[in-house]
Amino acid sequence: MALDKESVRDALSVREYVEYLGIQLRRVGNSLRGACPLCGGSKRATKFSITGERWHCYGCGESGDVFALAQLMERCDFSSAVKQIAGIAGVAPTVEYDESERKRRQQVRAMKERDKQKRQLRERQQAETSAGAVWEHLALESESGRRYLAKRGIWGLHGEVRFGKNSVCLPLRQTDGRITNVVGRYIDDRSPKIRGLKGCGTLGMFGDFRKLDVTTGPVMLTEGLADWCSARLLWTERLILGAHGGHRMADITRMIAAQLKKRGRALMFVAHRDNAGKRATKAALEAARSEGLLDENLFVYWVQGNDLNDELREP
Ligand SMILES: [Zn+2]
């Protein structure tokens, strides 16, 4: 809390302060005289003199204004002396100063936050711009990758799946086909989660939505990478889309809902009957309904067993 020293000075005169200290003052000419609160003296002493708002002691040689006296009395610094005098005078700290300072700090914080968001957006845009190039440079073939997929009954996706060092990769696309991330699943299962390019957003989907009009039947939306691959093999005439994790199914539903609605196309969620799958499907159905898709165009395909393509797996 800040104090305006001028208003404090106006609130308590030197005379009032000295009297507050217990000194009796007597008028002598145009000054007030009494014992010095600093160097003492008897009640009848006249060494201490006040003229206007200045004081002077002929004994100890000190002099000054009300704050100088408080500093010497309290053996403190200037601002503490102002507080001391304000306390005696009953002056409240001024709030105007604090308010403007608070607002200024708030503005600085808001500006820093805006700069941070701008920087993050710029970094993300740069990262997303490079995602397409990263995808183009991934290998089309990989022996270990092919074996990994074959074990899961997945083969021959001819470039739709590509290979990084020790990983099987898919692009995340926007509805216009633009690639904004590349995600990979590690072949050795050391890190079972699929991971995307650093700095890129994960709001995107597996599959190319631009193929909507050259496919028939319901659009299929799977929970993840492996199911997307399996569904591509099982339903070749359909548009297969996939989420980067089940929790993204609702987001993708919102991305595509308007165009599905316009064309009267059905949407079928492909999900596992575990808790995560049920939760993801519930959220996706809610998103679809809130976007105006009709129940008659919404379906759920519950995956039987462990995997969508269990029957296609190598024995
Ligand atoms: Zn003195």
pLDDT confidence band for 298 (50 / 70 / 90)? very high
> pLDDT value at position 128?
86
pLDDT of 314 higher than 60 = no
Angle among Cα 144, 145, 149 to the nearest 5 degrees reads: 120
The alpha carbon of 35 and the centre of ligand 1 are apart by a number of angstroms equal to: 8
Instruction: Quote the pTM value.
Output: 0.63
Q: Kindly give the pairing relationship between strand 179-186 and strand 167-173.
A: antiparallel
The alpha carbon of 10 and the centre of ligand 1 are apart by a number of angstroms equal to: 24
Bridge partners (DSSP) of residue 300 are 269
The alpha carbon of 25 and the centre of ligand 1 are apart by a number of angstroms equal to: 14
Mean per-residue pLDDT for 114-139?
90
The alpha carbon of 63 and the centre of ligand 1 are apart by a number of angstroms equal to: 9
pLDDT confidence band for 257 (50 / 70 / 90)? very high
Which residue has better confidence, 93 or 211?
Answer: 211
The alpha carbon of 50 and the centre of ligand 1 are apart by a number of angstroms equal to: 12
The alpha carbon of 70 and the centre of ligand 1 are apart by a number of angstroms equal to: 13
pLDDT confidence band for 46 (50 / 70 / 90)? confident
Percent of the chain with pLDDT over 70: 92
Bridge partners (DSSP) of residue 40 are 36
Mean per-residue pLDDT for 40-51?
81
30 Cβ contact partners less than 8 Å away, ≥ 6 residues apart: 51
> pLDDT value at position 226?
84
The alpha carbon of 64 and the centre of ligand 1 are apart by a number of angstroms equal to: 12
Residue 79 in 3-state DSSP? helix
pLDDT confidence band for 224 (50 / 70 / 90)? confident
d(C-alpha 263, C-alpha 94), whole Å: 66
pLDDT of 155 higher than 60 = yes
pLDDT confidence band for 98 (50 / 70 / 90)? low
The alpha carbon of 91 and the centre of ligand 1 are apart by a number of angstroms equal to: 28
> pLDDT value at position 90?
83
The alpha carbon of 83 and the centre of ligand 1 are apart by a number of angstroms equal to: 23
The alpha carbon of 11 and the centre of ligand 1 are apart by a number of angstroms equal to: 24
When the pLDDT of each residue in the chain is averaged and rounded to a whole number, the result is 88
Which of 18-22, 23-27, 199-203, 298-302 is the most confident on average?
298-302
The alpha carbon of 15 and the centre of ligand 1 are apart by a number of angstroms equal to: 15
> pLDDT value at position 152?
81
Do 236 and 257 form a contact (C-beta atoms < 8 A)? no
Closest CA relative to residue 82, chosen from 96, 95, 94, 68:
68
pLDDT of 99 higher than 80 = no
6 Cβ contact partners less than 8 Å away, ≥ 6 residues apart: none
Closest CA relative to residue 260, chosen from 223, 294, 284:
294
What domains does the chain contain, in order, with CATH numbers?
Answer: 5-93 (3.90.580.10), 133-312 (3.40.1360.10)
